[in-house]
Amino acid sequence: MLITPFSPEHEAFRDSLRSFIKKEILPYVDDWEKQGSIDKSIWKKMGEMGYLGLIFPEEYGGLDLDFYYSLIFCEELSHCYSGGFTISALVIEYMSATYIWKYADENLKSKYLSKVISGDWVSAIAITEPGAGSDVQNLKTTAVDAGDHYVVNGSKTFITNGYYADFIITAVKTKSNAGSSGISLLIIDRDSVGVTATKIQKMGWLASDTAELGFDQVKVPKENLIGELNQGFKYLMGGLQLERLTAAIHSLASTESAVNYTLDYLKERTAFNKQLKDFQVIRHRVAQMFADITVLKSFLYYCCELQNQKRYAVKECSIAKLQCGELAVRVIGECLQLFGGYGFTEDYRISRLYRDARVGTIIAGTSEIMLEILSKIYIDGVDYERK
């Protein structure tokens, strides 16, 4: 049996969260998928329950809980058959607002972080650019000092929550020809003059809004600078480990959800006067799926313990992100195959799970980027310990 780190309090939280999901999320995910957007009222409901402030300090409305509550949160949201909804929630709490919590001054925390935790505002993080991709050091979006404000010009792409967000934490170049030493983070209000957003039509994650953003002479107050000038790359490198860990949790939990969903189908369907679950080739395939999930979950929980200890675990989080993303693609693909022709229809949710799983090898650093990081660690002896 998998040894878990969960206390009775953790399990009570899981039960409460499951009840909330059953009542407030599951009845609506199909509609959100069809319309390509999430009803923003759900964030307010989640904020009232404290779900958007699990890791944040109490003075801003958070609960300041250990990371295992976040692990449960990521797992249970990943069982709601909508990767688009789940990633939107994870971006808000673990991939964008965390930069305000860790590096912004008190004014920004009071103004923006508290609104995220309460569910009143939706946040996004804008790093990727059309021409740069994973090459963060060479981004082209600029922020020019203009006295009491910056003038931002450029574009971003593949930005989750970018269309409906209330504000966007944006990586900008504030010092030309300085590589990673010339990047800063700015909070840009979505309704600022000169900000445009175009929704991207995607293969999966249909409920989430993914946008290409444009910045044309956008004036951003100096006080919207997160942390210190030209320190943005360091902040991003610190935040990416949490982003990759939560993405890994999502991939693995979605995989487990897909296998359980498939097993229910196999128990219902018959062929040649037998339930599908009773064919040996199918039984062995499903058993192997559960075995692979169980082994990887043990390692993933180990990574969560490192996060709980506030360890800067580049190697471990990179392994988790790589392995969980790749396993999801393979296993959910096998699950779809077991549905036969029905797996290729919208009558069963396995087709949605299959589409959503594919992006897990791309977001938060592609599998190739994870392999390059690990190559540098194992082969070149690079030490990524936080300075």
- Phi and psi, residue 151, nearest 5°: -110, 115
CA atoms within 13 A on the CB side of 214: 7
Q: Is 20 exposed, middle or buried (0-12, 13-18, 19+ CB in 10 A)?
A: middle
Q: Which residues contact 164 (CB under 8 A, 6 or more apart)?
A: 37, 38, 40, 122, 209
**Which tokens is 334 given?**
């096998």
- Residue with tokens 């295992």, as numbered in its chain: 68
Please confirm, yes or no, whether 48 is among the known catalytic residues.
Answer: no
Which residue among 33, 76, 243, 316 is the active-site one? 243
Who's near 32: CB < 8 A, 6+ residues apart?
A: 38, 39, 82, 84, 85, 207
Bridge partners, 275 (sequence order): 270
Two tokens at 44? Answer: 């307010």
Q: Which residues are catalytic?
A: 243
